[in-house]
Amino acid sequence: MSISPLALVSSEARLGTGVSIGPWTQIHGNVVIGDRVSIGSHCEIGHPSPLADGTPLVIGDDALIRSHSVFYEGSSFGPGLVTGHRVTVREGFRAGRSFQIGTLGDLQGHATVGDYVRTHSSVHIGQGTTMGDFVWVFPYTVFTNDPHPPSEVRLGVAVEDYAVIATMVTVLPGVRIGARSLVGAHSLVNRDVPPDMVVSGVPAKVVAEARQILLRDGSGLPAYPWTDHFHRGYPTEAVAAWAEARMAPPAVDGDPSYMHHRTTSGE
């Protein structure tokens, strides 16, 4: 264990083995930190909140939390959490394994994401948002939740497995983004996105099937589903399942859809 003498760690906090804590970081008491977790400088971990109802902040094994990040008590993260710098996570957030939060990520709590979700810099996740597994969210995307602001009504956005949301997208309250779909950059999504489709525009409309988008590498191969060609950072068992799915026949004879690519999502 490596704790900077300039860090302030509560005696009530529960720390695993091999934990590293940088200077000027404060670890509050209502915190459970797993093994081999690295926390950078100037962080606040387990910020007290009456909205947490006494629930601890739980950080799973092998996490990397970079400097100037703030995590409120009352949230939980599976193993392999990775953040950029200056991340804020409010109470009531639940994430599976290997969640990635980009620099300046703003997670407003009371939301749930699955396994291997990757969000890039300056993503805002409003309360009530739900995401499945293997979702990608690129910079400056905003998930809203108030259908007529300001009000007490909250309609969270739902993002299904393997969906990709490109940069500078705004998703309006209550919208569902279908599995394996692609939302184009600078889109305003005000209605549900069908699975396996590409939507783009303001407001976003269906423009193509995702499989019609080709890789710009000269191969002429489809860019989607992305699991056919992008494997960096994913576990070998998931990659093996994707390869097996590519070789399997469609779910329905004569149906060229990619429904069979749900093998690892639990659908």
Query: What would the CATH number be for the domain defined by 2-212?
Result: 2.160.10.10
Predicted local confidence at residue 258, as pLDDT: 41
Predicted local confidence at residue 246, as pLDDT: 85
- In sign, the C-alpha dihedral spanning 184, 129, 133, 81 is positive
Predicted local confidence at residue 262, as pLDDT: 40
Distances (CA, A) of 127 to 31, 37, 57, 124, 141: 22, 27, 17, 10, 14
Q: Which band of pLDDT confidence, cut at 50, 70 and 90, is reported for residue 267?
A: very low
Q: Is pLDDT above 50 for 139?
A: yes
What is the rounded distance in angstroms from the CA atom of residue 59 to the CA atom of residue 65? 10
- Model-level pTM? 0.91
Strand 197-200 versus strand 205-209 pairing type: antiparallel
CB atoms within 10 A of CB 38: 16
Burial (CB count within 10 angstroms: exposed 0-12, middle 13-18, buried 19+), residue 135: buried
Helices (H), strands (E): how many in the chain? Answer: 1, 31
DSSP assigned state of 128: T
Q: For 11-36, how does the pLDDT look when each residue is reduced to its tens digit (9 = 90+)? A: 999 999 999 999 999 999 999 999 99
| 264 and 248 Cβ atoms separated by less than 8 Å | no
Query: Helices in 55-121 by DSSP H: which ranges?
Result: none
| 134 and 117 Cβ atoms separated by less than 8 Å | yes
Per the prediction, the chain carries an average pLDDT of 93
Helix (H) or strand (E) holding 9: strand 8-9
Q: For 148-178, how does the pLDDT look when each residue is reduced to its tens digit (9 = 90+)? A: 999 999 999 999 999 999 999 999 999 999 9
CB atoms within 10 A of CB 216: 7
Helix (H) or strand (E) holding 198: strand 197-200
CB contact burial 225-248 (16+ within 10 A = b; e otherwise): bbbbeeeeeeeeebeebbeebeee
Distance of CA 105 to the CA centre of its chain: 10
What is the rounded distance in angstroms from the CA atom of residue 37 to the CA atom of residue 14? 12
What is the rounded distance in angstroms from the CA atom of residue 95 to the CA atom of residue 114? 6
3-state class of 200 per DSSP? strand
- Domain boundaries in the chain? 2-212, 226-262
Q: What are phi and psi of 138, to 5 degrees?
A: -95, 170
| 211 and 222 Cβ atoms separated by less than 8 Å | yes
| 263 and 256 Cβ atoms separated by less than 8 Å | no
Predicted local confidence at residue 254, as pLDDT: 44
